[in-house]
Amino acid sequence: MRAEMERLSRRAKWIVLVVLALGIIAVVVVAAEFAIRARQTLSYGTAATVERSYVLDERINLRVPSSNLKSGRIETNSLGFRGPEIAVPKPAGTVRIAFLGASTTWCAEVSGNEKAWPHVVTENLRRAFPRTTFDYVNGGVPGYVAKSSLKNLQHRVVPLEPDVIVIYHATNDMSVELRELAAARGLLRDARVDVPSWLAEHSLLWNLAEKNFRIWSAQQQAKANFGRLEVEPGFLGERFRRDLTELIRYAQKSAKLVAVATFSTQLRDSQGAEQQIRASSSALYYMPFMTPSGLLASYGRYNRVIEEVAAATGAVLIGNEHAIPGDSDHFTDSVHFTDAGSLAMGMRIYEGLKPHLGRALASH
């Protein structure tokens, strides 16, 4: 009986220790979750997940930003565009600029609406042409490809009577094409981007851990050159060429001036191997089968397509994509801008637009 009691006592001790250890782990996890939420709130003004900023417009079957959104540093107007309210119908004498693109135009990473590069462009034009009234529509929406922007233009932007339209696309179209190629060659299970797990949807700590693990795994594979997609860049971008051409042609029916910009990335030929791996971080998250050299060649190919489409359509080409330094001071990841990068991008677009604005201003 005594031996039995001792065994029960030892078992009870182990149970207490296990429960205590689990309790400590739970406290640490909860504390870490609160700390990450606090840090995100300090950095971005909110701990809400990004998806809560959007709704499905069932009328046009398109995911669009919520109207009158105030989520940390991001605010949308009553029409669901990031930026200040604009008058509808457009007042006589106002030159309205519409910017079409994806997350790199929406600019969630900058510290406020006034730091997003479409705002920077407009403010510089106001200073350059003080007798002209300018306003703008930031039509960028994270996740959009050129075809999404066409639908956005047709149903949401054209009714606002833009005089100038600026288009900035490449990385999402490129990611879709390369993922499809990788899936066809057995390097991916599915061409679609993996959706976050249930835990990642509800825990910022798990979400961060999941993303960082995927990035780390892709970086290690890139270093080892394991499971890489081998592709001839010269064969890339033909669907993008068709979609971008269609987008520009439709924009030209509505606006007096249409411009298209080549795409800027943090990744550069001049960087060392380790720096290229770091600069490829978010690109490898979506394209884990690529190497930095493959990404460089693919981005280069897509920029050549942009240049060729501009020449074929007569759109104003804004090049000089490397005017924005390829470093962490200007990019938060492979393609998204910091405040400094967004300012440099805004100046790049402004300088490309300014010489061509005469036609757009002539009737005002």
Domain boundaries, the chain: 1-47, 76-361
Q: What are phi and psi of 121, to 5 degrees?
A: -60, -50
58-67, 79-88, 217-226: the lowest-pLDDT one? 217-226
- What pLDDT does residue 188 have? 79
- What pLDDT does residue 230 have? 85
State yes or no: pLDDT of 75 exceeds 80.
yes
30-44, 81-95, 186-200, 242-256: the lowest-pLDDT one? 30-44
Q: What are the residues facing 76 on neighbouring strands?
A: 82
Q: Report residue 134's pLDDT band, with 50, 70 and 90 as the boundaries.
A: very high
State yes or no: pLDDT of 213 exceeds 70.
no
Per-residue pLDDT reduced to its tens digit, 13-70: 656 555 555 656 555 444 544 444 444 444 444 444 445 689 999 999 999 999 999 9
Per-residue pLDDT reduced to its tens digit, 277-320: 999 999 998 999 999 999 999 999 999 999 999 999 999 999 99
Rounded to 5°, the CA angle 89-149-179 comes to 165
- Whether residue 178 contacts residue 231, with contact meaning beta carbons closer than 8 Å, is answered with yes
Distance CA 145, CA 321 (A): 19
Q: What value does the mean pLDDT take over residues 89-116?
A: 97
Percent of the chain topping pLDDT 70: 74
- What pLDDT does residue 23 have? 57
230 vs 243, higher pLDDT:
243
Q: What value does the mean pLDDT take over residues 318-336?
A: 97
Q: Which helix (H) or strand (E) is 24 found in, with range? A: helix 2-44
CATH numeric code, 76-361: 3.40.50.1110
Percent of the chain that is helix, strand, coil (3-state, to 5): 55, 10, 30
Which two three-digit tokens encode residue 335? 């393609």
- What pLDDT does residue 71 have? 84
327 vs 217, higher pLDDT:
327
Maximum distance among all alpha carbons in the chain? Answer: 103
- What pLDDT does residue 192 have? 61
Contacts of 327 (CB under 8 A, 6+ apart): 266
Q: What is the mean pLDDT of the chain?
A: 84
